[in-house]
Amino acid sequence: MEELIRFRQELHRYPELSGHERATGKRIRFFLNRYRPDILYTGIAGEGMAAIFNGNEPGPTLVFRCDLDALPIQETINRPYMSTVSGVSHACGHDGHITMVTGLAKVIIENPIKRGKVVLLYQPEEENGQGAIKSIRKLREHNVIPDYAFAIHNMPKYPMGSIITSRNSFAAASKGIVVKLFGVSSHAAFPENGVNPSLAIAEIVQGLDKLNNSKYFSDFTLITIIHLKVGEVAFGTSPGYGEMMATLRAFKDSDMKKLTENSLDLIRKIGNKHNLVVETSFDDDFPATVNDSKLTDIIERVAKENGNRVIEINEPNRWSEDFAQFTVRGPSILIGLGVGEEMPDLHSPEYDFPDEAIPYGIKIYDSIIGHFLR
């Protein structure tokens, strides 16, 4: 375990943002070399890889996925292994996710599988929502088709080692919407000679806020304004351009579809009303993460056999996860792992994945392997 802790802390020391996980990938490959997987596919969605361990008999293919990228967040707690990269840190605990999946390599070498295959999938670009779909496509090119896919997400505010499950969506759908409004600039002394998008943006913001409380939806929805801009700092000019960004969020994909359509309709109507040309686009698109019910039963059973406390949440987490791309394509489950009730929130500058959680994740993964392949 000391070896894995050192590995986790080294990953923490050198975080990399989405699409730039080159050094992270090299560290993982160096560590995996001592356990010699039967096959190691590289170039998965960029710097990702798939380490494959084969059994001697036919059986299902189990994918255990972890995410490689860090966040543009400045770490604020001084630790011996704190981030060396200014403004970047593993504030979501992906360094812990990597370590738990990598710990399986040692377990499999010591207790080989009898049938099927285990795929340790190291996926880049989770935070921007692009890595999972790219990884799935690349796996298919290598004829690696998961029968079941598993991932763990660490969860502060829950008891250490507890297993968190859901009978509905585990994590919300979300997407970012970018709105560009084109008018006509003019002298600030004669704003009537131009088309200033300011009033339209103010009206759109208020309209989107009302959609939050709409009765059109069957479950929770939310629109969060994250960015507004009108013109430049030039007091003599009435601006002719503005832009805004918002995050749409819903517990159900059907509500996300409706929320998207209603938002676009509102934005276009207000833009037309103010004689503006409107352009819209989407980014960071995550479906809802809906866990397979049969896999949920299996996880809860093996967790109890391991002595883990099982906590079933009543509503989905508001955050999103691109592991949802696996859940919409086949039997898959995102497992919550409690990392301590006093831990800071994810995506906070104080967060650091606790090393004492590593054995819990490895054990639940190994129990899954035992259930299907031993």
What is the average per-residue pLDDT within 328-350? 96
Residue 162, number of CB atoms within 10 A of its CB: 19
Nearest to 154 by CA among 88, 92, 225, 220: 92
CATH 3.40.630.10 maps onto the chain at 2-169+289-373
Q: Which residue is it, tokens 């507004």?
A: 228
pLDDT at 243: 97
CATH class held by domain 173-286:
alpha beta
CB burial class (10 A; 0-12, 13-18, 19+) of residue 84?
Answer: exposed
Alpha carbons 15 and 23: distance in angstroms, whole number? 9
pLDDT score, position 212: 79
Write out the DSSP string of 29-81. HHHHGGG--SEEEEEETTTEEEEEEE-SEEEEEEEEEEE---BS----S--TT
Residues listed for the chain: 374
Positions of CATH 3.30.70.360 in the chain: 173-286
Confidence of residue 216 (pLDDT cuts 50, 70, 90): confident
Percent share of the chain, pLDDT over 70: 100
Angle between helices 358-373 and 2-13 (to 10 degrees): 110
Residue-wise pLDDT tens digits, 118-175: 999 999 999 999 999 999 999 999 999 999 999 999 999 999 999 999 987 899 999 9
Q: Reply yes or no on whether the pLDDT at 312 is more than 90.
A: yes
pLDDT the model gives residue 167: 86
**Do the beta carbons of residue 369 and residue 302 sit within 8 Å?**
no
Share of the chain above pLDDT 90, in %: 95
Is the pLDDT at 68 greater than 80? The verdict is yes
Q: How many beta carbons lie within 10 A of that of residue 306, not counting itself?
A: 14
Homologous superfamily in CATH for domain 2-169+289-373: Zn peptidases (3.40.630.10)
pTM of the entire structure? 0.91
Q: What is the pLDDT of residue 87?
A: 97
